[in-house]
Amino acid sequence: MNRNLRKTVIAGNWKMNLAPSGAKTLIEELKPLIAGKDKCEIVVCVPFIDVPSVAEKVKGSDIKVGAQNVHFMKSGAYTGEISAEMLVEAGAEYVIVGHSERRQYFGETDETVNLRLTAALDAGLKPILCVGELLEQRDRGITAEVVSMQTKIALQGIDAERLKRVIIAYEPVWAIGTGRTATSEQADEVCGIIRGVIAGKYGSDTAEAVTIQYGGSMKPGNAAELLAKYNVDGGLIGGASLKAADFAAIIDAAQN
C-alpha cells in the first residue's frame, strides 16, 4: 500500500450475518479495539436491516457504515430492492457493488454493476466495486482480460471527478470464503493491472490516487504481507470481519 498517494481502506463485508442485536454487540466489541487507529479508513458493510442501528452505534468512532448492494432505480415496482437514496437516509456512506456472490447467485452482470455504481454515485454514496476472476479463468491465463473488462464496463460513463469516490476491490473468486488466499505477489500484480486500466482511461495521476483493495480470505495472519504491497491499498474482508479481534488485527496491520 502507498499511503503517501492514496487512502488505505479496511472494509468488512458481514454478508448475511448478524441481525441488529448481534450487530450491536460486534460494534461494541470493535470500538475500543480500533480507537486511535487512524492510518486507515474503517468501514463495515452490513445487512440492510442493520444500517440504521449500526449508523447510530458507530457515532463518536471512526467506523463508517456501508451496505452490500443497491438497486439502480430511484423508486418504483422493484419488490425487495433498496435504492441509493434509501441507503443514504438510513445512514450508509459506502456500498459494495458487483460482489462475486451477487454475480454468481443473483444474476448480476457487468452492465447492471455499472448501473448500480452510477446510481450509488448519483446519490452521494461511495461505491466499493468488486472485480475478480474465477479459478477457471485464472487457469486459462485470462485474469488480466477478465478484471480489465469488468473494470472498464463498471466505470463506463463515470468521469474522473466521480471516480474519486470509487474504491475498487480485487477479489479473486477462488479466494473468497475458501480459506485460500492469493499470494501477495498475485494480489499486487492484479491490483496493478487494474490501476493500469484506470491510467489508460483517466491518466496516471488519477490512477495513482485510486484506492484498490484486495479481498479473499484476508485474515490477521496474512494481512500484513498483502497490505505491504505497493498496489494493495486495503482489504475487503468477509469471514474475519465477523470477529472483532480478527478485524481489529487486520486494521492494526494497516497502521504500518
Please state the φ and ψ torsions of residue 185, each to the nearest 5 degrees. -70, -45
Catalytic annotation, residues: 99, 171
The separation between CA 26 and the C-alpha centre of its own chain, rounded to angstroms, equals: 19
Binding string, residues 71-110; x marks residues near ligand PEP by CB under 6 A: ----------------------------------------
**Number of chain positions touching ligand PEP (CB under 6 A):** 14
Q: Within 13 Å and on the Cβ side, how many CA atoms surround 212?
A: 30
Residue whose CB is less far from ligand PEP, 66 or 215: 215
For residue 9, give the amino acid letter: V
Residue 166: all three cell numbers together: 470509487
Residue whose CB is less far from ligand PEP, 11 or 51: 11
Binding string, residues 138-177; x marks residues near ligand PEP by CB under 6 A: ---------------------------------x----xx
Residue whose CB is less far from ligand PEP, 79 or 229: 229
- Binding ligand PEP (rule: CB under 6 A), the pick from 166, 167, 182, 218 is 218
Residue whose CB is less far from ligand PEP, 91 or 239: 239
- How near is the Cβ of 203 to ligand PEP at its closest, in Å? 29
Binding string, residues 170-209; x marks residues near ligand PEP by CB under 6 A: -x----xx--------------------------------
Residue whose CB is less far from ligand PEP, 14 or 72: 14
Q: Is residue 43 at the binding interface for ligand PEP, with CB under 6 A as the rule? A: no
